[in-house]
Amino acid sequence: MLVHNSWRRPDAWSNLLFGLRLGAAPRVCITTTPRPTRLIKDLIASPKTRLVKGSTYDNRAHLAPDFFDAVIAAYEGSRLGQQEIHAEVLEVGEGAWFDRFDPARHVKDEAEYMPQYPVHLAIDCGVSRHTAAVWFQVRGLDPLRRRVTVFADWHGEGLYSAAAAEAIRKHSEALPSRGRLDTVRLDPAADQRTGIGPAARGEFERVFGARNFDSWPRHRVADGLDQLEVLLDQGLLILHPRCGFVKAAFQQYARKQRAGGGEWLDEPADDQHPFEDLMDALRGGVRDRFPGGRIEQPHYRRVRY
């Protein structure tokens, strides 16, 4: 029996085993990128398991050159690349999502606003008590790479949408960018109506205007956070020291633990925590700039071997 281990419910494995009840020596072949789930770790540790590992490099002859180049450029040198390219099982330390975030490496004065680059504002203003915003730019680091520089953040709690929008606008005007906004992007959930008033999107659009105003692309939370993780690992995301909220979010953002303990999930521990809103704003803004996937690089030179 051949199985691709892509299901999200580990109890499916128990049901699948009923398919091995006949024959003298039934076996199952599992192919997977080894995410550190309890099921994967138990299978690897079992004396009945024969483990065969291979990297993307091993499969290179069977892959389209453009695909191979894009995957290597996106992940090589990052923690996630150890999993996606080299089939390593990455342990999650105490549930920390960004355990390799290092203020000495990722918080720098060079993330300050620079007038030659557009200013992007991303706002998480869904239906929770918290509203968060980040201001960032995307710069050409060299001919092959771009860097995301976050130069300001904001957090508010218990504010109606109109008040939160006005507060963010005033904060923007007090920044070195002096209110410049080339794009404004909102959480798609801002379109939802609540029992306390109209959809948040309408209030924010009234304050910021319709020009360059839209929602960021819908995507899985885990994919957006993976994108941030890759950027961090490759030195392509830095924060200005004034971004205390985002810095704290990177340091303390945690994964949810499965009931009963022992396995950390690709879900935030508390979806109503202010850190969740801050990371949502950042991942949404970055995904809007790089909509094609977890990380998009500039045009690169292909090297033939």
Mean pLDDT in each 10-residue stretch from start to end of the chain (305 residues)? 52 76 82 72 79 79 78 64 66 70 93 97 83 96 86 93 94 97 92 59 92 91 87 92 94 77 67 84 95 49 40
Amino acid sitting at position 1: M
* 292: DSSP letter: T
pLDDT at 1: 46
Q: How far apart are CA 222 and CA 150, in angstroms?
A: 20
* Arch. (CATH architecture) of 97-289: 2-Layer Sandwich (3.30)
Q: Tokens 């030659």 identify what position?
A: 116
Indicate the domain borders of the chain: 2-91, 97-289
What's the CA gap between 221 and 276, in Å, rounded? 10
Encoding tokens for residue 85?
């390219």
Least Cα distance to 75 among 286, 250, 231 occurs for 231
Characterise 257 by phi-psi region: left (phi > 0), alpha (psi -120 to 50), beta (else): beta
**216 contacts: CB under 8 Å, gap ≥ 6:** 122, 185, 186, 187, 188, 284, 285, 287, 288
SS (H, E, C) 68-107: HHHHHHHHCCCHHHHHHCCCCCCCCHHHECCCCCCHHHHE
C-alpha span between 229 and 30 (Å, rounded): 27
Residue indicated by tokens 């990371």: 279
Residue 66 burial class via C-beta count within 10 angstroms: exposed 0-12, middle 13-18, buried 19 and up: exposed
The DSSP symbol for 262 reads: S
pTM strictly above 0.75: no
Q: Are 80 and 234 in contact (CB under 8 A)?
A: no
Distance from C-alpha of 225 to C-alpha of 97, rounded to nearest angstrom: 9
Q: pLDDT (tens digit, 9 = 90+) per residue, 5-16?
A: 455 566 677 777
Q: Are strands 29-31 and 2-4 parallel, antiparallel or unpaired?
A: parallel
pLDDT at 266: 67
Three-class SS of 160-188: CHHHHHHHHHHHHHHCCCCCCCCEEEECH
CA distance 171 to 173: 5
Rounded to whole angstroms, how far apart are CA atoms 146 and 286?
Answer: 12
DSSP classification of residue 19: G
pLDDT given for residue 296 in this prediction: 41
